[in-house]
Amino acid sequence: MRTLYTSHQRGGAILYESARLSRMNRPSPLLRQVRRTHSAAWKKNPHLDSIIRVDHAGELGADRIYAGQMAVLGRTAEGATIQHMWEQEIKHRQAFEQLICKHRVRPTVMTPIWNVAGFALGAGTALLGKEAAMACTVAVETVIVDHYNDQLRTLMEDPNIDKEILQTITKFRDEEQEHHDTGIEHGAEQAPFYRALTEVIKTGCKAAIAISKKI
Ligand SMILES: [Fe+2]
Ligand SMILES: [Fe+2]
């Protein structure tokens, strides 16, 4: 038989249940300490948290793109050129891994996705030919150079500017520009459907940047 409760009884049950759930979800003292410390670092420079997270994600993606290109084109005439760019991307990724630890920034939750997507993009375009691989490089590096330039403008407006981050991003921006120019010199514009291909990749990169800034 169905039990009928008064609204007063129902209200009490809801209050009891929400108090029980909040006790279950209460963070441990260690987690509370981490949050306090993290929040203090974040308050010192509100831009830094998102800058480091998104750049770490981008450099991880770039590392995986070149790894994918090398898996397909490593033994061709383009191998040495791609290897050189890949080695620079590995150094970029490592630098942001150190910054993530130093500033206690949470990496993006999308890390496993960018890992797979980056490799697939690099290998997929390389399978279309060396020109398509170079077109992929041009598209990605165009977006990254613009993105780094935007960050440099934001950082330079900051009175408490972080010189280490500023120098790191300036150096990497210059190297990404070199990668872009290398792509053009190695026939990117001769890729089939060059304009459509690069526009699709640029749109994907911009979406990845927007997502990684937030989550
Ligand atoms: Fe890079
Ligand atoms: Fe690059």
Identify which ligand lies nearest to the alpha carbon of 82: 2
- Is residue 4 scored above 90 in pLDDT? no
Residue 91 CA, ligand 2 centroid: distance in Å:
11
CB neighbour list of residue 145: distance below 8 Å, 6 or more residues apart: 173, 176, 177, 180
Is 176 annotated to bind a ligand? Reply is yes
Residue 42 CA, ligand 2 centroid: distance in Å:
28
Fold of 45-214: Ferritin (1.20.1260)
pLDDT tens for each residue of 143-160: 999 999 999 999 888 877
Instruction: Write a three-state SS string for 78-96.
Output: CHHHHHHHHHHHHHHHHHH
Amino acid at 159: P
pLDDT tens for each residue of 16-68: 554 454 444 555 655 555 555 554 455 566 678 889 999 999 999 999 999 99
Cα–Cα distance for residue pair 142/138, rounded to 1 Å = 6
pLDDT tens for each residue of 56-99: 999 999 999 999 999 999 999 999 999 999 999 999 999 999 99
Is 89 annotated to bind a ligand? Reply is yes
Tokens of 9: 């009884």
Identify which ligand lies nearest to the alpha carbon of 172: 1
Is 92 annotated to bind a ligand? Reply is yes
Tell me the angle at which helices 46-73 and 163-185 cross, rounded to the nearest 10 degrees: 30
For the chain, domain boundaries = 1-44, 45-214
Identify which ligand lies nearest to the alpha carbon of 93: 1
Is 8 annotated to bind a ligand? Reply is no
Residue 154 CA, ligand 1 centroid: distance in Å:
19
Q: Which residues surround ligand 1, an ion (CB under 5 A)?
A: 59, 62, 89, 92
